[in-house]
Amino acid sequence: MNSKLNNVDIMIPTYYKDFVWLEYLLKSLKKFASGFRKIIVVTDDDGNILPDNIKNIVPIELIYVKMLECPKSIEFRPGYFWQQYLSLNWMEYSDADTVLILHSDGMLTEKLTPNDLVDSNNRFRWFYRRWADAGEAIVWKLPSEQALKHVTTCEAMCMPGFIFEKHTTMNFINYMKKIHNASSLWDCFFKYNPKLFSEFNVFGSFILYFDNQMYSKILISNDNLSEWQDTFHHKILSSWSYGGLTNDDKIKRDLILNN
């Protein structure tokens, strides 16, 4: 294995309503993932315990975290931002050099190892498409610019499978704290009053403009997606947990696991 990839964790921020999705994700990791140091599941310390039948699917490090307080005057949903904060603040829960962030409503569809995370130049891939090609994802443009205090030219959440490298994450957090005059990343949210936030768009946009050369920044269009079919990003099935786990979702996931 590439020595750069000897210390890679998978981290899954979740909460109790997504446990039914998490079960499928963990089963897919058991079937398809190998070579990762740890699988870390971070969930809210709100009295909802992860059931043993899910917790024991594959060895995991389970961390319960109490949500930090926020001003009552804040208009946004604290839980919505909290889950995204957990991803950006991953170094609080892992001492790995790199983490692959997966959400509960995703799952692997093929075998995956840390070596799949880098390109031929030993850099992590992050994909972008211009806002003109982003369709409804244009809603993330203004929130990303408010968070970064920087003009953005691209959507940075167009391919699943987001990799956070330690030094880049540290630079990102320090940048956010500095521009918002905040004592912590969580406090950054209270320096303005966003209605929307996308952690992957904000972090990806930071990489695009301030990267330390750890990432390969790839501009794609809606017409050339097929060129990247051989990357690990196409080994991840993404869904939208807010709508609930439908029978069709279950059938699709069971077919993947039982194939």
Tell me the mean pLDDT in the region 190-210.
Answer: 90
Tell me, letter by letter, the H, E, C secondary structure of 87-130: HHCHHHCCCCCEEEECCCCEEECCCECHHHHECCCCCEEEEEEE
- The domain limits of the chain are 3-258
Task: Flag whether pLDDT at 74 surpasses 70.
Answer: no
For the cut 60, the answer to whether the pLDDT of residue 1 exceeds it is no
Looking at the predicted structure, is the pLDDT value of residue 73 above 70?
A: no
pLDDT of residue 48: 95
- Tokens 């850099």 — which residue? 123
Q: What pLDDT score was predicted for residue 241?
A: 73
pLDDT at 66 over 70: yes
pLDDT at position 244: 79
Q: What is the pLDDT of residue 234?
A: 87
Q: How far apart are CA 60 and CA 120, in angstroms?
A: 30
Task: Average the pLDDT over 224-232 and give the result.
Answer: 75
pLDDT tens digits, one per residue of 171-180? 999 999 999 9
Asked whether residue 170 carries a pLDDT value surpassing 60, the answer given is yes
User: Which of 13-27, 46-60, 62-76, 167-181 is predicted with the least confidence, judged by mean pLDDT?
Assistant: 62-76
The model's pTM: 0.93
Average of pLDDT values for 206-214?
Answer: 90
> What does the pLDDT look like over 39-65, one tens digit per residue?
999 999 999 999 999 999 999 999 999
Does 242 have pLDDT greater than 80?
no
Residue 121 has pLDDT above 60, yes or no: yes
Q: Give the span between the Cα atoms of 17 and 22, in whole angstroms.
A: 10
The per-residue pLDDT of the chain, averaged, comes to: 91
Q: How far apart are CA 155 and CA 16, in angstroms?
A: 29
What tens digit of pLDDT does each residue of 136-162 get?
A: 999 999 999 999 999 999 999 988 899
Query: Is it the case that residue 3 has pLDDT exceeding 70?
Result: no
Q: What are phi and psi of 136, to 5 degrees?
A: -65, -15
Per-residue pLDDT band for 75 (boundaries 50, 70, 90) equals low
> How many Cβ atoms from other residues are within 10 Å of residue 202's Cβ?
24
Q: What pLDDT, on the 0 to 100 scale, is given for residue 2?
A: 63
Q: For the domain bounded by 3-258, which CATH number is listed? A: 3.90.550
